[in-house]
Amino acid sequence: DSKRVFKIASIPGDGIGTEITSAAIEVLQKLAFIEGKFSFEFNHFDWSSENYVKRGWYMPEDGMDQLKKNDAIYFGAVGWPNVPDHISLWGLILPIRNSLNQYVNVRPTRILRGITPPLAKCGPKDLDWVIVRENSEGEYAGHGGTTHGHSSHAVATEVSIFTRVGIERIMRFAFETAKSRPRRKLTMVTKSNAQRHGMVLWDSVFAEVAKEYPDVQWDKMLVDAMTVRMTLQPQTLDTIVATNLHADILSDLAAALSGSIGIAPSSNLDPTRQNPSMFEPIHGSAPDIAGKGIANPVGAFWSAAEMVRWLGMEEAADALMKAIENVTEAGIRTKDLHGSSDTKAVTGAVCKELESVL
């Protein structure tokens, strides 16, 4: 028959990355099985910090070519106390984002059914955001160096790179995202009072692109004031666009305000679709809880749903989200959400719900 087979590269990585990736694969296989019109073929890559210590590399020479043979990439988390964090990040995840032109990172946040957010006055409908993170340059461009490293004259530079091309494409993506949502509202985050070159270019390219979208209502925030607005007036925000570093920080805050870092998904997209896009929860490897089987898999499942949506299967993605929220609503939750279930119980419950929602 004409069943579509999607090739998915899976990179579990380190710590709870491995636990939530296998949970996500179980749920995805179940989704495909019940839905019946497509299937997944997973290609597993053992690129981790443990293997880096043994082999001296995170990815082999032809790693990027191997990834390109897939329709999408599912990523757990990378980073472990046995390797400095800048080595692990620059050994695996940042080169993938850069080489595969994944210049957008989309991070939706909302209050899932049944979850009580930490803010007393925040109702379930008061927080429903999409953070659009610039994912290819800015503060994470990797420009800089160290001189006289071990002396009292040590100098280090970390240069942010902002390009017109890079800013324009992220702004256009952000406006398109805002336009596709009911409120048609975009908030642009900047720090152009103190950072007077890159951030000023960021602001001016935003203003240019804004002219193409008269039907989107927009405003601007300095990043420090943005943390206050997110906390005290969450209902005034909808789509948010920010730089690589700012959006990284704001999306952890967003996750916390919605209940837990363990819920939040992210999509690293190549909007041109010339390369596979990569889907991962926003959290890291959580060494403090790794190996205990208690990691919250909801962020991993939501990321999987976003992958399914990107692959064109809207209905299946909606069904997966419904199954996830039926489970959070039923109170089957991990400890970070004040529940008493473990990863396995939540995973089993979502698989079971899939049987009734599809």
Residues that bind ligand NAI (CB under 6 A): 16, 77-79, 85, 89, 93, 261-262, 280, 283-289, 295-296, 299, 334, 336
Nearer to Mg ion, 248 or 306 (CB): 248
Q: Cα–Cα distance between 248 and 252 in angstroms, integer?
A: 7
CB of 194 to Mg ion, least distance (A): 22
The two structure tokens encoding residue 56: 């001296």
Partner touching 248 among ligand NAI, Mg ion, none, CB below 5 to 8 Å by kind: Mg ion
Partner touching 114 among ligand NAI, Mg ion, none, CB below 5 to 8 Å by kind: none
Is residue 353 at the binding interface for Mg ion, with CB under 5 A as the rule? no
CB count in 10 Å sphere of residue 218: 19
Within the chain, what is the greatest distance between any pair of CA atoms?
A: 70
Is residue 248 at the binding interface for Mg ion, with CB under 5 A as the rule? yes
Partner touching 250 among Mg ion, ligand NAI, none, CB below 5 to 8 Å by kind: none
CB count in 10 Å sphere of residue 41: 10
Nearer to Mg ion, 14 or 248 (CB): 248
Partner touching 128 among Mg ion, ligand NAI, none, CB below 5 to 8 Å by kind: none
Nearer to Mg ion, 248 or 353 (CB): 248
The two structure tokens encoding residue 121: 């006055």
Q: Cα–Cα distance between 15 and 48 in angstroms, integer?
A: 9
Q: Cα–Cα distance between 96 and 317 in angstroms, integer?
A: 25
> Applying CB under 5 A, which part among 3-11, 159-167, 240-248, 291-299 lies near Mg ion?
240-248
Q: Are 14 and 48 in contact (CB under 8 A)?
A: yes
Q: Which of 129, 141, 139 is nearest to 174 (CA)?
A: 129
Q: Which residue has the tokens 């690589």?
A: 244
Is residue 134 at the binding interface for Mg ion, with CB under 5 A as the rule? no
> Footprint of Mg ion on this chain (CB under 5 A)?
248
